[in-house]
Amino acid sequence: MQAIDYFEVECPEKRGGEYYRQIANDVLLDHNLLRVIQKIHIYIDPKVPIFVAVGVLKKVTSVVKVGDIANINPQEGKLTLAISDETWLAPMLKIFWDRFGKDHVDQPDRFTVILYGVKAEVREIEEIVIADPSQALKKDLVYALRCICPEGFRVRSENYSADKFSFVASEDLLTDAGLALVREKFALMGVTP
């Protein structure tokens, strides 16, 4: 867990807490979330029962633009794009098709895309936004927290903002005391919610 500044699992049952630390570690690792989370504090009390997870997110990487994944070669009547990272190729092609039409977009091989007769500057093409990875990361985070949380705790209160998140879950109705734990656990990390 070297990438996370603060990672605590608090539980009145010592052994249960250790297992949940392992579960949280596995799930965050599986979903590649360690690079997104800066601090996380998990509190579980099976007697109440309640599960609380609060955390601080790192500033998520900015959007992906055409210029980030391709080198553009302007030639007469066409622009040749040499792709360096295939990850975002599909959404990029989709955007090109929508914007320029399929007749103007050709992909002769995996790493080359050619735009024919496109009236746009190289700079303009480079600035086209292909994807926003933070959206996918948010989805992963929501899914991961639901995975970590005991399955029977189905009454949930979840809050996700750009830099913080809180997740409270229980089997029973959530009380004010339960929700107040969010502030308390944020304070343990030295953060105001």
Where do contacts with other proteins occur on this chain (CB under 8 A)? 13, 15-16, 19-20, 22-23, 26-27, 30, 44, 46-47, 49, 147, 150-154, 171-172
CB atoms within 10 A of CB 44: 23
Min CB(154)–other proteins separation in Å: 8
Min CB(136)–other proteins separation in Å: 18
Q: How far apart are CA 22 and CA 28, in angstroms?
A: 10
Between 170 and 191, CB nearer to other proteins: 170
Between 59 and 139, CB nearer to other proteins: 139
Between 96 and 153, CB nearer to other proteins: 153
Burial of 154 (0-12, 13-18, 19+ CB in 10 A): exposed
Q: What dihedral do alpha carbons 19, 23, 24, 29 form, nearest 10°?
A: 140
Min CB(88)–other proteins separation in Å: 27
Closest CA to 33 of 126, 110, 137: 137
Between 1 and 95, CB nearer to other proteins: 1
Min CB(149)–other proteins separation in Å: 9
